Chains A and B, each alone.
Chain A
């Protein structure tokens, strides 16, 4: 079965550079979520989109932005990168907006971003 696809898997950037992370949800899933996970930390919710509109916002820095496109894929744009942005970035998708649907999120394998 198709899963959530994230690209790239690894990304190395320098401070003050920009990065773009991509996420392709499971086919027919209409909701995409972005999380940031630091080393040894729990995933922190950043932002989510439902039907191409932002649905919820978490602890996403102003330097970051995201959007969901007409084919439901999503991109997380990160500017003025800082050392502290080094982390695993996960994308997840789900189908529908009901509470139980949101509980069951399917995660991708993540993008490991290293800022040097």
Chain B
């Protein structure tokens, strides 16, 4: 079936380093790909989205890259901070539904 999934379940980085979280997807028909952040005990929080006809989009300290050729999505976080520690989910929209992939837990070491 169609799915969105992540390569790495855990990622540990040093504070101040850049983080890269990867995601593979299988449904080429999705219009948008989105990244959500979920901190412990909280609901997911929207970070950034990218339309399928784009290959790069930048936000504040975050960049999303989309490679449709290999169906790969990544989230880059610059100068990672302790507050970035969370589980990160990639997701895609199918109609009105958000389809989440497996999360990656990002741990930031001080």
Contacts of B45 on A, CB cut-off 8 Å? 107
Cα A92 to Cα B44 in complex, Å, equals: 9
Q: What residues make up the interface of A, taking CB atoms closer than 8 Å to B?
A: 4, 31, 33, 35, 42-45, 48, 50, 55-56, 58, 90, 92, 97, 99-100, 102-110
Nearest residue, chain A, Cβ from B90: A42
Of the listed stretches B11-19, B78-86, B98-106, chain A binds B98-106
Q: A-facing mask of B62-106, CB < 8 A → 1, else 0?
A: 000000000000000000000000000100010111111111000
Cα A110 to Cα B34 in complex, Å, equals: 20
Contacts of A90 on B, CB cut-off 8 Å? 43-44
With beta carbons under 8 angstroms apart, the residue of A58, A106, A110 that contacts B97 is A58
With beta carbons under 8 angstroms apart, the residue of B32, B43, B46, B99 that contacts A99 is B32
Q: Is B110 an interface residue (CB 8 A)?
A: no
Contacts of A33 on B, CB cut-off 8 Å? 98
Q: What residues make up the interface of B, taking CB atoms closer than 8 Å to A?
A: 31-32, 34, 41-46, 49, 89, 93, 95-103
With beta carbons under 8 angstroms apart, the residue of A31, A103, A109 that contacts B41 is A109
Known contacts A42-B102, A100-B49: A107-B97 contact under CB 8 Å: no
Minimum CB–CB distance for A39 against chain B, Å:
12
Contacts of B31 on A, CB cut-off 8 Å? 99
Contacts of B34 on A, CB cut-off 8 Å? 103
Minimum CB–CB distance for A60 against chain B, Å:
11
Known contacts A43-B44, A90-B43, A99-B93: A105-B103 contact under CB 8 Å: no
Nearest residue, chain A, Cβ from B99: A45
A108 touches B46 (CB 8 A): no
B93 touches A102 (CB 8 A): yes
B46 touches A104 (CB 8 A): yes
Nearest residue, chain A, Cβ from B41: A109
